[in-house]
Chains A and B, each alone.
Chain A
Amino acid sequence: MLNKLFKFYGGVKPPSNKTLSNALPIVQAPLPSRLVVPLHQSIGGMPRPVVQAGERVLKGQLIGQADGWLSAAVHAPTSGTVLEVAMHVRPHVSGLDSLCVVIEPDGQDEWIAHGPPDIATMSPADICNYLQQHGVVGLGGAGFPTHGKLTATPAVPMAELIINAAECEPYITCDDLLMRERADDIVRGIAVFRDMLKPQSVIIGVEDNKPEAIAAMRAAVDAQNEAFSVVAVPTLYPAGGAKQLIRVLTGKEVPGSMRSTADMGVQVFNVGTAYAAWRAIGHGEPLISRIVTLTGNVRQAHNVEALIGTPMNELLQLAQPHPDTDGIIMGGPMMGFLVPNESAPIVKTSNCLIAHSERLFPPKAPEMPCIRCGACARACPHELQPFELYWHARAKDFGKTQQYNIFDCIECGCCSFVCPSRIPLVQYFRFAKSEIWAREREKKAADEAKTRFEFKQFREEREKAEKAEKLAKAAAAQAAKKAAEAAAAAAAAGDAPDAPPADKAPDVAVDPAQAAKKAAIEAAMARAKAQREAAQVKNTDDLTPEQAKAMADIEARRQQAGIAEPATTTETKPE
């Protein structure tokens, strides 16, 4: 193999526990009693529901329309009846609800008409659109819509296309089994990505604890005559972090602040994503199922192909959890989370369910003070100083945490794993990050309000000035007209010895600025009066007949007494 491997700093070697679940083949999970399909399963816009309660849907039928470019469609995982489109708990650490389409399967699993598109006639944009319509998103964890990563950056030529099959988290074996059993379709999917991105090389990175998967992938690559290299990377958590894998395979370090690795000529896809893309392009099947590892405190750990929307507790039963199971971890034991509600559904990014028990994951010892031993810094793959971050996060000195690059933290958990003081470091960092985000949102809102206010003030000033100018112009025109009339009258009357209008007229004509000022003042006074009147009127609006009568009586008495105000104030009219 001509690939030279590089090392990334830090990393840890937790017990992998993969042999628990990688001995048995993938099993098709039976149809659940009910499917709860969240509409929001990827980064980006929330797909809009296009079905209604009571409607019959077919397997693969569109139920959620992608909303905007960064969004992916959602489909019915099987045929059946839509029970409701309503808020249900989603598999998220928050335990919050999101809009879901609930389907009762009819047991027939009847496909909608589908078939592979004629890819030869499709432009890259068509393929992107096709993948979006078929709901293909990254299956590695973040759920980034795949088409969003297939648009080549014109400025930077694509050097390496990397397929992430490292699967570095302990317990998880879904990618391992997928590669062992379905390597051909994976390689075809990678070929599609290759054709779109035109990279100089394609590298498939697999941790060296998966020899069967590596062999299967190499065989498939050879069988299809592709020039992809399947590279065994040393098993070291988190080698499957995108940036760590890029480092190991290419030596490039993508800075934490750089969102898009494409800017460095590298693009990374999860191996499961390549498979899903080929199911869409090669078979016309939208993403409606995925391989899920069922493991942990169970009698028979194995991998299943489960429909999106299957309730987790129902799915986990297939592995026969032991009676002392007290929770379900979604994801791996390093970065996963205990689902707050076990009836939450499997989504596109659910790669693993671990039955949790205290026997397997003993409760953590109480937190001790940090002794600055630096074990966390030696374990951090992003070369941060977690104990310094912890110090500042704890003190709520969030500016300092940013100075120590808190946003480069990928929350891989290596620091917490090694900490002898048992400090939940990652928790502190999540806390600091969310506090900073909240503050930034607040600041942004305040800034926007300030801008709005300032603009309002500016607009009012401008309108006032415009109005004054208009009035001045009108006044000047009026004066000029009057002067002209006066002159005409004077001319008609002959030489009148005493003609006051003639005296007045030149006055105005000579000094239009003064006239404008006077007009503005008059206009302002008129406005003030109008306002005053409006205000007065408001007080006597909506009177009951009794009140009106009482008021009229009072007015009458006042007038009799001679203290009534004059009915109308003298109006200052120009003429």
Chain B
Amino acid sequence: MMFAPAPFLLKDASVSQVMTQVCLALIPGIAAYAWLVGPAILVQLVIASLTAVAAEAAMLKLRGKPLAMFLSDGSAIVTAWLIALTFPPLAPWWLVVTGTLFAIVIAKHLYGGLGQNPFNPAMVAFAACIVSFPALMSQWPSVGLQMPLLDQLNVILGLAPRVDALSGATPLDAMKTALKLGEGQIDIAHLLANQDIYGNFAGRGWEWVATGYLLGGLWLWRRKLVTWHAPVAFLAAMVLVSGALWLYQPASFASPVFHLLSGGTMLGAFFIITDPVSGCTTPRGKLIFGFSAGLLAYIIRVFGGYPDGVAFAVLLMNLSAPLIDQLTQPRIFGMKGRQS
């Protein structure tokens, strides 16, 4: 006599479905990205994916886990894509490979693999690489750089010299540097109006990549793969603190719209702080997690030494997530308004 426990009916759901949908949700952002910088980003996505799958397979084998079941869950691909999207698109191939290996081997499998990692693997990779290779991690292609695929490939593979055109900064970084150099003489309105690097709202072109992420994120929310709590709290914190400083001194602080559409804000809000493994899980916990991450990200990107603050903000909050969860357990059915 066979034994199978109830329920006998199961919803059609699996980890690979979840991960596939996350990848699908990244596509609008990736499309805008590819339109902006050319096929280089696609090359990076491929490099990162291949590395991630190979590292995942090797680690699963070492740990004696079933290969097919875990390779098909798609979690390594999500990590790989997030790494490719947060690293400079023309970064040398080995930088992306190093980051991906670090994420899969150290941040994921050494902590126990799928579902066990206390830190977001992609953000660990970003943090490790920006600390180890600050110059390479800060080289972003200049605006309007049009290079054919072959040239981009040569740059990525290290077959061509890393020309000046590659050594731009991100719009966020550029603004910080300009404001510092300007010693209060330069105001933001002037910068935005006169520098090529800025578009209508934020970095030229980058604003549309961010919008792509926003669209994908909203789709994830519609599909109920993420709840509104963490993204809304994250964006709200960003708007509140940037808005307050912008109203106080518009010349030295960029507007909330600029911050929402710059750097990793949108990617972070919908794809990184919503990572359930390393983030908070209770509704109130997610609000606290998102809000604090938004606040920290702003502080680090505006007052800190790194071009963006999302990665460090997320890692810091990953540390606090278990405690926040413990302190924000929701009241259960029948216990609302009662002493527990």
Q: Does B177 have its Cβ within 8 Å of any Cβ on chain A?
A: no
If A337-B6, A368-B73 touch, whether A375 touches B13 (CB-CB below 8 Å) is: yes
Q: Is A83 an interface residue (CB 8 A)?
A: no
Q: Known contacts A14-B9, A336-B6: does B276 contact A372 (CB below 8 Å)?
A: yes
Structural contact, B336 and A361, CB atoms closer than 8 A: no
Which residue of the partner chain, among B8, B330, B332, contacts A333 with CB atoms under 8 Å? B8
Complex Cα gap A426–B5 (Å) = 8
Residues of chain B lying within 8 A (CB to CB) of residue A69: none
* Chain A residue with Cβ nearest B7: A413
CA distance A12 to B9 in the complex (A): 11
Q: Which residue of A lies closest to B326 (CB)?
A: A388
Q: Is B281 an interface residue (CB 8 A)?
A: yes
How many angstroms between the C-alpha atoms of A375 and B223 in the bound complex? Answer: 12
B1 at the interface (CB under 8 A from A): yes
> Which chain A residues border B8 with CB–CB below 8 Å?
329, 333-334, 336, 354, 356, 361
Q: Does A243 contact B333, Cβ atoms closer than 8 Å?
A: yes
Secondary structure at the B interface, as helix, strand, loop or mixed, is loop
Query: Cβ of B7 and Cβ of A417 under 8 Å apart?
Result: yes
A427 to B7, CA, bound (A): 10
Find chain B residues with CB under 8 A from A381 CB. 333
Tell whether B195 is near chain A: CB-to-CB under 8 Å: no
- B67 at interface, CB cutoff 8 A: no
Residue from the list A258, A337, A375, A420 in contact with B334, Cβ < 8 A: A258
Q: In the assembly, what is the distance between CA of A367 and CA of B330, in Å?
A: 27
Complex alpha-carbon distance, A395 and B303, angstroms: 43
Q: Which residues of B contact A405 (CB under 8 A)?
A: 332
Interface segment, A31-39, A195-203, A222-230, A249-257? A249-257
Which residues, 200 to 237 on B, are CB-close (under 8 Å) to A?
A: 224-225, 227
Closest to B3 in A: A338
Per-residue B-contact encoding for A354-372, CB less than 8 Å = 1, 0 else: 1010000101111011111
Partner of B116, one of A340, A369, A373, A417: A369
Answer yes or no: B135 CB below 8 A from chain A CBs. Answer: no
Interface residue B113 (Cβ < 8 Å from any Cβ of A):
yes
Q: Are B281 and A420 in contact (CB under 8 A)?
A: no
Q: Is A418 on the interface with B (CB-CB < 8 A)? A: yes
**Bound Cα distance A479, B17 (Å):** 99
Chain B 9-20 against A: per-residue CB contact (8 Å), 1 yes, 0 no? Answer: 111011101100
Contact A420 B18 (CB under 8 A): yes
Most buried by B among A361, A371, A375, A383: A371
| Contact assessment for B2 and A327 in the assembled complex, using a CB-CB cutoff below 8 Å | yes
What's the minimum C-beta distance from B77 to chain A, rounded to whole angstroms? Answer: 14
Give the distance in Å from the alpha carbon of A424 to the alpha carbon of B3 in the complex: 13
* B146 located at the interface, meaning its Cβ lies under 8 Å from any Cβ of chain A in the complex: no
Asked if B69 CB lies within 8 Å of chain A CBs, one says: yes
Check A58 for interface membership: any CB of B closer than 8 A: no
| A419 contacts chain B at the CB level, 8 A cutoff | yes
**Chain A interface helix/strand/loop/mixed:** loop
- A364–B1 CB distance below 8 A: no
Q: Determine whether A422 belongs to the interface, using a CB cutoff of 8 Å to chain B.
A: yes
Give bound CA distance, A338 to B338, whole Å: 39
Cβ contact within 8 Å between A170 and B9: yes
| B-contacting residues, A336-360, CB 8 Å | 336-338, 340-341, 354, 356
The count of chain B contact residues (Cβ–Cβ below 8 Å) is 41
Q: With the chains together, A116 CA to B324 CA distance in Å? A: 63
Q: How far is the CB of B74 from chain A (nearest CB, A)?
A: 11
- Residues from chain B with a CB closer than 8 A to the CB of A8 are 333
Evaluate whether A373 and B276 lie within 8 angstroms (CB atoms) in the complex, with A368-B15, A413-B7, A426-B7 already known. Answer: yes
Residue of A nearest to B116 (CB): A369
Structural contact, B281 and A416, CB atoms closer than 8 A: no
Distance from A278 Cβ to chain B, minimum over Cβ atoms (Å): 32
Q: Which residue of A lies closest to B321 (CB)?
A: A372
Contacts of A12 in B (CB 8 A): 11
**Does any Cβ of A come within 8 Å of B250's Cβ?**
no
How many A-B pairs with Cβ below 8 Å?
A: 145
Digit string of B78-118 for contact with A (CB within 8 Å is 1, else 0)?
A: 00000000000000000000000000000000000111100
A316 within 8 A of B: no
Q: How far is the CB of B328 from chain A (nearest CB, A)?
A: 11
- Is A372's CB under 8 angstroms from B6's CB? no
- List which A364-410 residues lie within 8 A (CB) of chain B: 364-366, 368-375, 377-378, 381-385, 387-388, 404-405, 408
Q: A366-B69, A369-B114, A372-B276 are in contact. Are A418 and B11 (CB under 8 A)?
A: yes
* A333-B6, A426-B5 known; A371 vs B332 contact (CB < 8 Å): no
Interface presence of A129 (CB below 8 A): no
Q: A369-B115, A416-B10, A417-B9 are in contact. Are A364 and B332 (CB under 8 A)?
A: no
Does A9 touch B at the CB level, under 8 Å?
yes
Chain A residues lying within 8 Å of B7, measured Cβ to Cβ, are: 14, 333-335, 413, 416-417, 426
List chain A residues, Cβ under 8 A from B163: none
CB-based nearest B residue for A411? B6
Are B332 and A243 closer than 8 Å at their CB atoms? no
Task: Determine whether A15 belongs to the interface, using a CB cutoff of 8 Å to chain B.
Answer: yes
A371–B10 contact, CB under 8 A? no
In the assembled complex, how far is the CB of residue A145 from the closest CB belonging to chain B, in whole angstroms? 25
CB of B335 closer than 8 Å to a CB of A? yes
Most chain B CB within a 10 A radius of its CB, from A95, A363, A385: A385
Whole-angstrom distance from the CB of A178 to the nearest CB of chain B?
A: 24
Asked if A326 is at the interface of the complex by the 8 Å CB criterion, the answer is yes
Q: Shortest CB–CB separation between residue B291 and chain A, in angstroms?
A: 18
Contact with A along B301-340 (1 / 0, CB 8 A): 0000000000000000000000000000111111110100
Contacts of B332 in A (CB 8 A): 256, 382-384, 405, 408
B57 interface hit (Cβ, 8 Å): no
Which residues of chain A come closer than 8 Å to B181, judged between CB atoms?
Answer: none
CB distance from B3 to the nearest CB of A (A): 7
Q: Please, which residue of chain A has its CB at the minimum distance from the CB of B18?
A: A420
Closest to B335 in A: A255
Closest chain B residue, CB of each to CB of A382: B333
Q: Which residues of A contact B9 (CB under 8 A)?
A: 14-15, 170, 333-334, 361, 417
Q: Is the CB of B10 within 8 A of A422?
A: yes
Closest chain B CB from A335 CB (angstroms): 5
A419–B276 Cα gap in the complex (Å)?
14
Return the CB mask of A86-99 against B: 1 if under 8 Å, else 0.
00000000010000
**B334–A254 contact, CB under 8 A?**
yes
State how many angstroms separate the Cβ of B101 from the closest Cβ of chain A. Answer: 21
- Which A residues lie within 8 Å of B69 (CB)? 366, 368
A372–B281 touching, CB < 8 Å: yes
Q: Which residue of A lies closest to B65 (CB)?
A: A369
Most interface-central of A255, A368, A387 (chain B CB within 10 A): A368
Find chain B residues with CB under 8 A from A426 CB: 5-7
Q: Is B277 an interface residue (CB 8 A)?
A: yes
Taking beta carbons and an 8 Å cutoff, which residues of B are in contact with A?
1-11, 13-15, 17-18, 66, 69-70, 73, 75, 113-116, 224-225, 227, 276-277, 281-282, 329-336, 338
16 pairs across A/B with beta carbons < 8 Å?
A14-B7, A170-B9, A255-B333, A331-B6, A333-B9, A334-B9, A340-B3, A356-B8, A364-B10, A368-B69, A372-B277, A373-B276, A377-B282, A383-B331, A416-B6, A416-B7
Q: Told that A8-B333, A335-B7, A336-B6 touch, could you supply 7 new A-B pairs with CB distance under 8 A?
A: A15-B9, A95-B1, A333-B9, A373-B225, A408-B334, A418-B13, A420-B14
List the 7 closest pairs (A to B, CB-CB), nearest first: A255-B334, A413-B7, A369-B115, A333-B8, A382-B333, A420-B13, A253-B334
